[in-house]
Structure 1
């Protein structure tokens, strides 16, 4: 008997999900809505709505006092801007120096010890990625004092996790056929690493390093807010004295620096990858 032989009233109706499945989905959405409402109440129970209602007027007043920028202040920004670029560049180099050996220790196909060294390397990478550069800067400023050195180390320690993670994933994704071909010639482990793995990961390494430098330009611009040097220190000083035209100029300089670094990063990655 075919389906067409069954009366229309008795034919089974196909449903994408069972009744229990549909009820479970509805209950899940209801739970998400309830969770959103609960979180919203927690976030807004201490909100002073009088300030929220006055925010457009306050923003307009601040903008009127911050414009036009104080262009004469630019002479005092060249050195802090140069310090910011140096913090990003030297911090990136420090991150590369620390991240490369960690990446080879963390990669499952290059680590000499999966039971000890690989977990330690993975922990270092995760710990670096878990701590924001501002927190690194706060800790290092309290230890080393304010200055550029704390900013360089903060950028470097933060970069280790980013570079190390992407690099060890690139190492693990290398073509095993090339490695097996070199191994078949009787090559040593060092030769396998040098001729079978490193050439495959070099393009990724260059791209990751340049991309991280671009990110570090942005992050180093605000480290001065916690005393780690750079143009952020001038921003903090201008905010402290409510010199809003100077703040506008500094923000424009930071924006221009980020745009230029993005352009340089894109050009370099296009040239080497």
Structure 2
């Protein structure tokens, strides 16, 4: 921190003159960028609908309440399909993510020059595309239905699970691995007794955490035809059946809250 002397008295300053100038210049550039972005957004926005939004929201709320409670009998199978999509997709993703994670980790990959870049490419590519986009592509390939939703969730989850798992593999205690290697154990024995026991807690936590996320993502896959309760939501929205929509949203909220509670309890037990 600079100290400036004035009349033989030392005055503390947070920044020098040059640092202050640079600081305010950065703020000015930031404000200019914000103003430009706001101008572009304003030109592409129909502000009449924005100002009229409170009235429209109140109208929809009036139409949607009370929920159509007798419609809940038709939501049992769709919410069950949603849970199956999330669960089966997570299981498939975990089976595929484990080898990808071992290939991506620096301390377990067979080849840092060839195999590891391929594994990292798989992780990045599967994580970078949203599950809705995967569902749209799969519906075009294998047709609409629950199976497309399961595969979409699985592909989307591979990169997430593999990334966290390979980071856990790279952070293991190498002393345990060296001790098992010193006994003359093979590569597979070292992996089974020196690496896997250390990453099992992380693996369990990742699995539960991803399953919790997939519950949320699977609820909307039906909007593009990939099965689950989102299909009922899409059908109700298309006919403007707002009491049914409100009930479906309440069921989705309940499913998400329960999955969050279950995952928190399981993670607490593991940790």
Superposed CA deviations along residues 206-260 of structure 1, whole A, max 9, x for unmatched, are: 0000110011011000000000000000000000000000000000000000001
Match of 2:89 in 1: 91
Please state how far the C-alpha of 1:17 moved relative to its aligned partner: 2.8
Please state how far the C-alpha of 1:172 moved relative to its aligned partner: 0.3
Aligned length: 267
Q: 3-state DSSP class of the match of 2:216?
A: helix
Please state how far the C-alpha of 1:22 moved relative to its aligned partner: 1.4
Match of 2:253 in 1: 255
After superposition, the Cα gap between the structure-2 partners of 1:21 and 1:224, relative to the gap in structure 1 and judged at 3 Å, is: same
TM-score (norm 2): 0.96
Match of 1:112 in 2: 110
Give me the whole-angstrom Cα distance separating, in 1, the residues matched to 2:161 and 2:189: 24
Give me the whole-angstrom Cα distance separating, in 2, the residues matched to 1:48 and 1:157: 37
Task: Choose from 100, 103, 106 the match for 1:102.
Answer: 100
Please state how far the C-alpha of 1:8 moved relative to its aligned partner: 6.4
Please state how far the C-alpha of 1:25 moved relative to its aligned partner: 1.1
Please state how far the C-alpha of 1:52 moved relative to its aligned partner: 1.2
Give me the whole-angstrom Cα distance separating, in 2, the residues matched to 1:201 and 1:50: 55
Q: 3-state DSSP class of the match of 2:15?
A: coil
Superposed CA deviations along residues 18-60 of structure 1, whole A, max 9, x for unmatched, are: 2112111110110001101111111111211111111111111
Match of 2:62 in 1: 64
Structure 2 residues not aligned, in runs of 5+: none
Residue 38 (structure 1) aligned with residue 36 (structure 2): yes
Written as runs of structure 1 = structure 2, the 5 A alignment for 1:189-268 is 189-268=187-266
Match of 2:144 in 1: 146
Match of 1:164 in 2: 162
Match of 1:179 in 2: 177
TM-score (norm 1): 0.95
Give me the whole-angstrom Cα distance separating, in 1, the residues matched to 2:45 and 2:110: 55
Residue 121 (structure 1) aligned with residue 119 (structure 2): yes
Please state how far the C-alpha of 1:87 moved relative to its aligned partner: 0.4
Aligned Cα RMSD in Å? 1.3
Task: Choose from 42, 53, 56 the match for 1:55.
Answer: 53
Give me the whole-angstrom Cα distance separating, in 2, the residues matched to 1:169 and 1:50: 50
Please state how far the C-alpha of 1:79 moved relative to its aligned partner: 0.5
Q: 3-state DSSP class of the match of 1:101?
A: helix
Q: 3-state DSSP class of the match of 2:112?
A: coil
Give me the whole-angstrom Cα distance separating, in 1, the residues matched to 2:81 and 2:198: 35
Give me the whole-angstrom Cα distance separating, in 2, the residues matched to 1:112 and 1:48: 56
Structure 1 residues not aligned, in runs of 5+: 1-6
Please state how far the C-alpha of 1:185 moved relative to its aligned partner: 1.5
Give me the whole-angstrom Cα distance separating, in 2, the residues matched to 1:113 and 1:266: 37
Please state how far the C-alpha of 1:14 moved relative to its aligned partner: 4.9
